[in-house]
Amino acid sequence: MKLRGNVLKQIRRKRGLSQTALAEGICTQATISLMEKQNRLPKMDILTAICERLNIPTDRIVENEVSGVNDTFNQVDELMTAHKFAQAEKLLDTIKVKTLESDFDKQRYYYLLGMVQAENDQIDDAIFNFELVLTQFATTSANVYLAMTTAGMAMAYLKRHDRERAIRLTNRSVKLIDNKKLIGSLHQWASINDQIANLYLKLDDPDSAIEMANRGIELCRKHDSLFLLDELYLCLGKAYIAKGDNEEAREALEVAKSLSIARHGTLMEEDIQQELAKLK
């Protein structure tokens, strides 16, 4: 693959971003400079995060991309976000893990496979694949998938009714995003905040759920993104209901309802209406 640094520079400037702003939370400013001036190709996780921040496909700035696997992973992510787990599983089945060249691609594959399995209550298989990510790639690829996988593991153990281990893993995922410089795109950071917020909600810790949901909301606001905002506000509303704060709950749920319609029609309307009904 060959990077087209001049195209990257043009797009960055068109978006009104400095090299430092584009690099924030992803890599160093020097990395962006090397990409633009010397066509230096970064690691795939960095490239993917940069392209998402610029809202462009990777093939816009990369020539002769030998595989469409990144697009496939992105499609799986979208299906998972839309709770279309059966379709996500079928799409994952088209990926041959032996053909994946980078550790980042392998990490994404096993994480997504684990999440699909956890959603389908294949708990032992899910835990096996999550552990593979955490043991094989923890030191070779410092990106947000480490925290997402840890949260995925917490969800799996919660489904197994091992509450104590689920709490430890959930807290560990928070420490990972707080204490370690992980590479991640906006969608990934919003996802991990939503993931952890919902875990705390299921663990009967509404205060922590509210904190994590608000983190995700502020992140989306900062980047003018609607991604997952409806789900974050829905989680926020549920947490306020758990605390008995009906006024805050109603406000959050009404926002979730409006955002859900803006994002994807009435996909979440039934869930939101059920929560609103609890306030009557």
Asked if 227 contacts 243 with a C-beta cutoff of 8 angstroms, the reply is: no
CATH 1.25.40 fits 206-280, yes or no: yes
Q: Which of 226, 244, 155, 240 is nearest to 190 (CA)?
A: 226
Give the CATH class of 2-63: mainly alpha
What are the residue boundaries of the structural domains of the chain, listed by start? Answer: 2-63, 68-184, 206-280
Q: Which residues in the chain show pLDDT less than 70?
A: 1, 64-67, 138-142, 180, 264-267
pLDDT in tens, 112-131: 999 999 999 999 999 999 99
Per-residue pLDDT tens digits for 147-201: 999 999 999 999 999 999 999 999 999 999 997 677 778 888 999 999 999 999 9
In percent, the amount of the chain with pLDDT more than 70 equals 95
Instruction: Answer whether 68-184 and 206-280 agree in fold.
Output: yes
Q: Which residue has tokens 């590479």?
A: 183
Closest CA to 272 of 242, 243, 231, 240: 231
- Say if residues 145 and 133 touch (Cβ distance below 8 Å): yes
Local structure of residue 180 (DSSP, 8 states): S
Q: Which pLDDT does position 66 carry in this prediction?
A: 47
CATH superfamily membership of 68-184: Tetratricopeptide repeat domain (1.25.40.10)
Q: pTM here?
A: 0.82
pLDDT at 137: 76
Q: So what's the pLDDT on residue 144?
A: 85
What is the DSSP code string of 221-275? Answer: HHTT--TTHHHHHHHHHHHHHHHT-HHHHHHHHHHHHHHHHHHHTTTTHHHHHHH
Pairing of strands 2-3, 62-63: antiparallel
